[in-house]
Amino acid sequence: MIVKETNIRVPYGHTDQMGFVYYGNYPLYYEIGRTESLRSMATSYKALEDDNILMPVIDMNIKYVKPARYDDLLTIRTIVKELPSTRMKFFYEIYNQSVELLNLGETTLIFLSQERNRPVRCPDWMLDIFKKEMVKA
């Protein structure tokens, strides 16, 4: 299991008139979690795109446990439980500065060849990175 953490400060623009983070902003937080977890493994989503592979999200589930608020310093825990094949799952837990669990999510992404416009397997160089991280963990 690979677990990576990153932080985001809630800007005013993410709140709504309930005074909470608008429910539609969490997918962005998950994207930031995914991106930074890849970066912490010395690779990046950008490197994949440079390899002409896109990773669109094909499904997402979210549980809104407690509201996040303006200026909260959120911790996004991004979790990979299984090695990717043609698909890859990420799980997310979002906590506030008081370590209260606010949000739980999961997304499934596919590897899409931009040239052939169809799904492909996770490229070997990326699979190797995940294998090494799994061993470390």
Q: Which stretch binds its own copies (CB under 8 A): 63-71, 75-83, 84-92, 126-134?
A: 63-71
Do residues 112 and 55 touch, judged by C-beta distance below 8 A?
A: yes
Does 43 sit near its own copies (CB under 8 A)?
Answer: no
Q: How far apart, in whole angstroms, are the C-alpha atoms of residue 54 and residue 17?
A: 35
Q: Which stretch binds its own copies (CB under 8 A): 61-69, 75-83, 86-94, 121-129?
A: 61-69
Does 41 sit near its own copies (CB under 8 A)?
Answer: no
Q: Residue 123 carries which DSSP code?
A: P
User: Shortest CA distance to 89 belongs to which of 98, 80, 97?
Assistant: 80
> Binding pattern to its own copies, positions 10-39, x when CB under 8 A?
-xxx-xxxxxx-xxxxxxx--xx--xx---
Q: How far apart, in whole angstroms, are the C-alpha atoms of residue 47 and residue 44?
A: 5
Does 89 sit near its own copies (CB under 8 A)?
Answer: no
Does 63 sit near its own copies (CB under 8 A)?
Answer: yes
User: Shortest CA distance to 38 belongs to which of 132, 135, 130?
Assistant: 130
Q: Which amino acid is at 89?
A: K
Where on the chain is the footprint of its own copies (CB under 8 A)? Answer: 9, 11-13, 15-20, 22-28, 31-32, 35-36, 44-46, 54, 56-64, 67, 70-71
